[in-house]
């Protein structure tokens, strides 16, 4: 099909159907630095490059779809978080956002710690050489086997999430003859301004022990009685993709309030607090995320102030950013397969992946940006919906976005800010193979997670 052989979709704001878009950007060829990885640029021919490698070469060498990860950007963001919090605090990267052995090595080298929440994540971390004492183990229903493996490995902390777990971890620690450092995860009763499925500090949900009604204080009481547990602090994670700092401030205030009550009741000043992760990133040009140094300053100030008022020694603070480190560092590279213009509505652009490589749009109504990356175009903008190849009409990658109206099959398009919760939440729906993660740096590309093959799928199918 030639570039002009299909009619363009609707073009003007006054005919746009209902949606989340704010109108076409002034220039579709410009890549907003806010949503793209740091080294992304266009070369002299107009092809997008990242880490000095152009996307056509990446597509030829690694195929599409593929997650393309900018290693320099990842390291820079990890360093920025580490630097912002300084030597008196710890940064635990949340592995659930995206974890692979290469990522573990980068984190280790950049001085970060790691939060894992399953046996699989723990195994990945240990196999890539993360020292166990720099690992925190999370989860609302850790299995006995997972707890045993974590204690045996010598993880730096287990974050206790329920009354049952206090006893369970203590028993296993006793069996193994190893006193285990623990934090207690509480819910502080904050309604974070984010999607319901990723808000975690209000009481009506599965994580943590409520502060309300004295439950958190009771959990601390029980844990302090158990010799095989060394209670080192309180943990609070209020949710994810949050821009407003006020929720963190309320959480810090309430956690310090609990530390004060613990001191008053038990004469013990717990030495650590963890304020979780959750800082939002820019998925579209409308999002304005905070920088790590602003976040560090705000959190450190509030904790210090509250502790001074309560006459407590300021505890060591830790945080667990996942998305804010890895999210912006990767984009998903797709090839356009089919294009279906619907007059007065929008143009459907089908790519070679979909909800199996990015479930966030279907699950959270997440918004994404998209750009034509294999060339530039001066054609008029058309309202597009980027969809996948799955047997489901909800298989939407980008709900509403503008692409050039001369878009054609074979063009490469990319969806930025897919480093977090895309590969880690990928599925095999329709037996579509999960894409590789390709790291680029200094003019070189390297597969860090290879593409799934049909053999991989068939290996599991033993019936």
- Binding site residue list for substrate: 323, 360, 364, 392, 421
Only one of the segments 62-70, 260-268, 315-323, 446-454 lies at the binding site for ligand LLP (rule: CB under 6 A); that segment is 315-323
209 in Cβ contact with 168 (< 8 Å) = no
Which of 62, 149, 254, 323 binds ligand LLP (CB under 6 A)? It is: 323
Establish if 137 lies at the interface with ligand LLP (CB under 6 A): no
Our answer to whether residue 391 is catalytic in this structure is yes
The single residue of 117, 307, 391, 422 carrying the catalytic annotation is 391
Confirm or reject binding of residue 198 to ligand LLP (CB under 6 A). yes
Among 51, 315, 322, 416, binds ligand LLP (CB under 6 A): 322
- Helix 246-266 to helix 215-225 angle (10° resolution) is 50
Of 28, 68, 89, 94, the residue at the interface with ligand LLP (CB under 6 A) is 94
Q: Among 236-244, 292-300, 329-337, 372-380, which window interacts with ligand LLP (CB under 6 A)?
A: 236-244
Contact status: 282 vs ligand LLP (CB under 6 A): no
**Within 115-134, which residues bind ligand LLP (CB under 6 A)?**
115
Is 82 one of the binding residues for ligand LLP (CB under 6 A)? no
Shortest Å distance, C-beta 262 to ligand LLP: 21
Binds ligand LLP by CB under 6 A, chosen from 62, 77, 134, 138: 138
Binding to ligand LLP in span 355-394, by CB under 6 A:
360, 364
Q: Does 241 bind ligand LLP (CB under 6 A)?
A: yes
- Considering beta carbons, is residue 414 or 422 the nearer one to ligand LLP? 422
CB nearer to ligand LLP: give 181 or 360: 360
Q: Does 277 bind ligand LLP (CB under 6 A)?
A: yes
Number of residues lying near ligand LLP (CB under 6 A):
22
* Segment lying near ligand LLP (by CB under 6 A), choices 26-34, 98-106, 273-281, 445-453: 273-281
Site stretch for ligand LLP (CB under 6 A), options 2-10, 56-64, 222-230, 237-245: 237-245
Per CB under 6 A, 324 contacts ligand LLP: yes
Q: Could you say whether residue 240 binds ligand LLP (CB under 6 A)?
A: yes
Interacting residue ranges for ligand LLP, rule: CB under 6 A: 94, 96-97, 115, 138, 198, 237, 240-241, 276-279, 320-324, 360, 364, 420-421
List the catalytic residues.
Answer: 391
């Amino acid at each position: 099909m030639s570039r002009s052989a299909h009619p363009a979709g609707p073009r003007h704001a006054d005919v746009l159907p209902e949606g989340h878009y704010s109108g076409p950007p002034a220039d579709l060829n410009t890549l907003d630095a806010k949503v793209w990885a740091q080294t992304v640029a266009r070369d002299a021919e107009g092809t997008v490059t990242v880490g000095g490698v152009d996307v056509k070469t990446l597509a030829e060498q690694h195929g599409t779809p593929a997650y393309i990860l900018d290693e320099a950007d990842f390291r820079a963001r990890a360093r920025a978080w580490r630097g912002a919090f300084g030597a008196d605090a710890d940064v635990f990267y949340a592995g659930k956002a995206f974890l692979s052995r290469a990522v573990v090595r980068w984190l280790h080298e950049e001085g970060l710690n790691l939060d894992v929440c399953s046996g699989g994540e723990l195994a990945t971390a240990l196999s890539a050489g993360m020292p166990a004492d720099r690992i925190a183990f999370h989860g609302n229903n850790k299995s006995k086997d997972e707890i045993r493996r974590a204690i045996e490995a010598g993880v730096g902390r287990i974050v206790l999430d329920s009354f049952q777990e206090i006893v369970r971890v203590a028993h296993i620690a006793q069996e193994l003859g190893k006193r285990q450092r623990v934090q207690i995860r509480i819910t502080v009763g904050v309604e974070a301004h984010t999607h319901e499925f990723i808000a975690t500090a209000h009481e009506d949900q599965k994580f943590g022990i409520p502060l309300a009604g004295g439950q958190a204080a009771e959990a601390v009481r029980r844990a302090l009685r158990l010799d095989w547990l060394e209670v080192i602090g309180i943990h609070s994670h209020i949710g994810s993709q949050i821009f407003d700092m006020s929720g963190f401030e309320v959480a810090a205030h309430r956690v310090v309030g609990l530390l004060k009550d613990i001191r008053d009741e038990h004469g013990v000043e717990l030495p650590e607090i963890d304020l979780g992760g959750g800082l939002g990133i820019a998925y579209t040009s409308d999002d304005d995320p905070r920088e790590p140094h602003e976040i560090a300053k705000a959190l450190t100030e509030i904790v210090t102030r509250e502790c001074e008022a309560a006459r407590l020694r300021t505890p060591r603070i830790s945080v667990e950013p996942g998305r804010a480190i890895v999210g912006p560092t990767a984009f998903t590279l797709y090839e356009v397969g089919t294009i279906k213009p619907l007059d007065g509505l929008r143009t459907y652009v089908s790519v070679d992946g979909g909800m199996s490589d990015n479930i966030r749009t279907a699950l959270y109504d997440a918004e994404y940006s998209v750009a034509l990356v294999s060339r530039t175009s001066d054609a008029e903008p058309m309202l597009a919906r980027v969809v996948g190849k799955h047997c489901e009409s909800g298989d939407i990658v980008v709900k509403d976005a503008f692409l050039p109206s001369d878009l054609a099959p074979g063009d490469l398009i990319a969806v930025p800010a897919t480093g977090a919760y895309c590969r880690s939440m990928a599925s095999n729906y329709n037996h579509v193979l999960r894409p590789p993660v390709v790291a680029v740096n200094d003019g070189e590309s390297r597969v860090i997670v290879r593409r799934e093959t049909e053999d991989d799928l068939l290996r599991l199918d033993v019936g």
